[in-house]
Amino acid sequence: MPVAAQVVVNGASNGAAVDNEFLQGITNKGLRAVLAQVQERDPHQPEFLAAVKEVATALAVLSARCCPQPVFDRRPEPVFEKRPEMLPVFGMMCEPERAIVFRVPWLDDAGNLRVNRGYRVQFSSAIGPYKGGLRFRKDLTLSVIKFLGFEQMFKNALTTLPMGAGKGGSDFDPKDKSDAEIQRFCQSFMTELYRHIGAHTDVPAGDIGVGGREIGYLFGQYKRITALHTGALTGKGLDYGGSQIRPEATGFGTVIFALAVLKDEGKSLKGKRCIVTGSGNVAQYCVMKLLEEGATVLAMSDSLGYVYKPDGFTMADLEQVMAIKSRHSGKLRDFKAPGAQYVEGRKPWELNVPVDMAYPCATQHELNLEDATNLFKNGCKYVFEGANMPSTDRAIAFFHKNGVVFGNGKAANAGGVAVSGLEMSQNRIGLQWSREEVEAKLTDIMNTIYRTAKVIGFREDRLNFDCLQRCTMNTIYRTAKAASIEYNTTLDAGANIAAFLRVGEAVLAQGAV
């Protein structure tokens, strides 16, 4: 097959790559050539390059070399030594199938013409229609969208559902905008986006700045233009084609993934002291699940600062946070509760208090090496990512080196897209499943992945089928752990390897397309 023939950079096979930090630690000449080409094409896209480097590091099994306790007493097995035909496939997967950039004109409440930039990057359709959220945020760039789409490709693969990967959004800032302005913007945005999406082509969903209200406006405009009531978006309201359990799925799933890890160690969340960053949808439901499991949540944050409660947040406190954040203009500094301390312009990772677990649920690269060092100093043994790539490469390397259990976002926060995939299925057949029916469907997914895990010795009675998200996240956990054992590496790298192989096999089978 042509795509598997050789690695070519600027017309030269396996050419010498520039020796810089991006290539640091990569010894495989072919992989260095692939990375050099990615860097040469997109030198000014730091977020995207960081996402590519993270996966490349996992596939080279570099994390096993800094892991103090490998799974077995044997040398790590880099993926491209075991499967050399997959190296050109990785290079192909680093280039999106399509990147769409467009103008979004709209009128504000004063009648002034405003213009924003819209994006949709369709990264991979190898295993299904493009699937991934829309983000509205003032600092959004093509680099961020590409990083999110690249991450989405691996995350979607871990769910075992037939979903490709895409990501989109705009540099529109919904904060301090009126409902009428948000509606006009969403309608203008969809007036261009509708050309590129559809139930069997590309199915966007929500993300930061795009909640139920925005999805409603976007879907309404799509329906108005196309005269089609189809599953062209997910995250819809239950009254017009949405799915049960979708709002809770990402935050709940992150905690359930953590529960699966703790269960293997004979532990629970009860009494664990946790820091959660963010205060949006993911963080809110992450905190809710932690409190239900008996954990103590010490802090939550937003883009302006954080709230620290020495005795821990209560359900009543969380309800107040949800009420504040139900408005785009809501700020966490408005939170009031006995003993609560608000710290302006800082991140809660700086707290010098005993911490057992960290849940970064805010945004990319929010947790750096300094933060990781402080968390470890304060006793943190587990980090589970609720956001997309919130930890920097150096922070992740520090966690691995010091034996901190690290669940990356591709695995730990995949519960949301899994339920979005089930919403797509419901839309296609014209039915809305009950909560129990959705649970049963995900149990089937769980059993499929279990058969893969079983070959390395997992017993069915160790798995938990008691709720929808638990089924999904245990599926992902067991899949990631299976790969980590096969390649003698960390759980984090195992998730990347398992996802890459699933997409890569499909790419290899379909040829140079």
Query: And the tokens for 69?
Result: 């306790």
Q: Positive or negative, the Cα torsion across 438, 133, 500, 393?
A: negative
C-alpha–C-alpha distance, residues 289 and 287, integer Å: 5
C-alpha–C-alpha distance, residues 350 and 374, integer Å: 7
Across the strands, what pairs with 286? none
Contact 407, 261 (CB under 8 A): yes
| Residue 121: how many other CB atoms lie within 10 Å | 26
270 in a known ligand binding site: no
Kindly report the backbone phi and psi dihedral angles of residue 271, in degrees, each rounded to the nearest multiple of 5, phi listed first: 85, -5
Name the burial class of residue 441, with classes exposed (0-12), middle (13-18) and buried (19+) by CB atoms within 10 angstroms of its CB.
middle
∠ CA 298-301-306, nearest 5°, is 75
**Torsion, CA 283, CA 287, CA 289, CA 291, rounded to 10:** 180
63 in a known ligand binding site: no
C-alpha–C-alpha distance, residues 228 and 225, integer Å: 8
Which is nearest to 418 in space by CA: 259, 256, 239, 209?
256
C-alpha–C-alpha distance, residues 234 and 205, integer Å: 5
244 in a known ligand binding site: no
420 in a known ligand binding site: yes
Across the strands, what pairs with 407? 384
Sequence-distant (6+) residues with CB within 8 A of 243 are: 234, 419, 420, 422, 423, 426, 432, 433, 438
Give the rounded distance of the alpha carbon of 436 from its chain centre.
26
Q: Which of 146, 167, 381, 410 is catalytic?
A: 167
Across the strands, what pairs with 274? 297, 357
C-alpha–C-alpha distance, residues 390 and 366, integer Å: 5
Query: And the tokens for 428?
Result: 């296609």
155 in a known ligand binding site: yes
Which of left, alpha, beta for 312 (phi over 0: left; psi -120 to 50: alpha)?
Answer: left
Please give the span between the terminal C-alpha atoms of the chain, in angstroms, as a whole number.
11
C-alpha–C-alpha distance, residues 497 and 106, integer Å: 43
CA distances 131 to 90, 142, 198, 403, 419, Å, are 20, 17, 10, 34, 12
| Residue 138: how many other CB atoms lie within 10 Å | 12
Q: Is 381 a catalytic residue?
A: no
**Torsion, CA 384, CA 389, CA 393, CA 394, rounded to 10:** -50
45 in a known ligand binding site: no
392 in a known ligand binding site: no
**Numbered residues of the known binding site for NAD(+):** 250, 281
**Numbered residues of the known binding site:** 131, 152, 155, 206, 250, 281, 420
* Residues with active-site annotation: 167
